[in-house]
Structure 1
Amino acid sequence: MANPLARFEITEAEIDRVVARFYERVREHAMLGPVFAVHVTDWPTHEDKVARFWKNAILRKPVYDGSPMQVHRAAGNVRPGMFSTWLAEFDKVLREELSPEQAEGWSALAHRIGMSLRQGVVERETLPGGIPKLK
C-alpha cells in the first residue's frame, strides 16, 4: 500500500465527484445506509462538509473545521466492525472514479484515517484494559 502521507495529484472537482458517488452508494447500502440515515438529513450539506475534509487532508487546503473523531464517537450507532465495510466501499469508488495512482494514494490515506477512527470507537466501547462495555 502507498505511503498514506504521500502527496498525489487530484483536483477539487475529482474529490467532489468521489464523495458524491460514495454517498450515493452509502444511501443504498444495507448496513451503512441506515447508520447514516439516522444522522444525515441534508445530504448536499453533508457531502460538502466531507469533501472539505478531504480537500484539507489531501490538498492541505484549510477549508474544513471539525472533528471527525468526535462525530463518530458521539454518533452512538457506529461500531468498530463497520469501518472495514466503509473502507471497502470507498475503495471501490476510488478505483472506479480515479486513476490507479490517485486511487492508491487516497486509499492509503483513508485507511490510515479509518484505523484512527475505528480505534476511537473501540475506546468508546471498552473499559480500561480493553474490557468490553456490555451496556
Structure 2
Amino acid sequence: MSQTASKPNPLRLFDITPAQIDRVLAVFYARIRQHPELGPVFNGHVGVTDDEWAAHIALISRFWRGAILREPGYDGNPMRVHMQAGDVKPAHFDPWLALFEEVTTELLPPDTARAWIMLAYRIGRGLRMGVEDLSRPAQHVPKLG
C-alpha cells in the first residue's frame, strides 16, 4: 500500500512550515508579553493568562498560515481590530516590527526570515496607515507615504 506525500502548495509565498510559523509566534509573543511598551497594550486586549495568549497565538497563526501558505481558517479583519483598539498608536509599529525581525532572524533560515520580515513590514505599514488615519481630523488629506 503506497502512501502519497502531500504536495506543497504552489501558491504559498515562500518556503516555511506550519511548525516554523508556530515557533516564531510563540517566541515573539512571549517577548511581546514582557515588552515595556507593547506588553501592556497587548495584555490589555489579549489578556494575561497563558490560555488567553494560546488562543491569540492560534488566531495569529491562522492569519499567517493564510497569508503565507494560503491555508483557509482565518476570517478576521486585522485592520478593523487595530483601528478599533483605541490604544494602538502609530509609534507601536516600529518596536513591534523590530522585535518580529529579531525573532524571525534568530529562528529561521536567512531567506525565509527575510521573506517573512518583508511581508510583515508591508502589512505593518498598512495597519499603521489605518491607525494614523483615525487620529487625523476629517478635513486633513491622508498621508499615503
TM-score (norm 2): 0.84
Note the residue ranges of structure 2 that are not aligned, 5 or more in a row.
1-11
Q: Deviation per CA, 1:43-69, whole angstroms, max 9, x where unpaired?
A: 000000001000000001111110000
Note the residue ranges of structure 1 that are not aligned, 5 or more in a row.
1-5
The share of aligned pairs that are identical, in percent, is 49
Per-residue deviation, 1:130:
4.8
State whether structure 2 residue 109 is matched by structure 1 residue 99. yes
Q: Which residue of 1 aligns with 2:87?
A: 77
Q: Which residue of 2 aligns with 1:65?
A: 75
Q: Distance in 1 between matches of 2:141 and 2:87?
A: 19
1:63 is paired with a residue whose SS is coil
Per-residue deviation, 1:36:
0.4
Q: Which residue of 2 aligns with 1:3?
A: none
- Which aligned runs of 4 or more in structure 1 are off by greater than 2 angstroms? none
2:118 is paired with a residue whose SS is helix
1:64 is paired with a residue whose SS is coil
State whether structure 2 residue 25 is matched by structure 1 residue 15. no
Per-residue deviation, 1:7:
2.2
Q: Which residue of 1 aligns with 2:58?
A: 48
Q: Distance in 1 between matches of 2:71 and 2:13?
A: 13
Per-residue deviation, 1:127:
1.4
Q: Which residue of 1 aligns with 2:132?
A: 122
What is the RMSD computed on CA atoms of the aligned residues?
1.3
Give the greater-gyration-radius structure (CA): 2
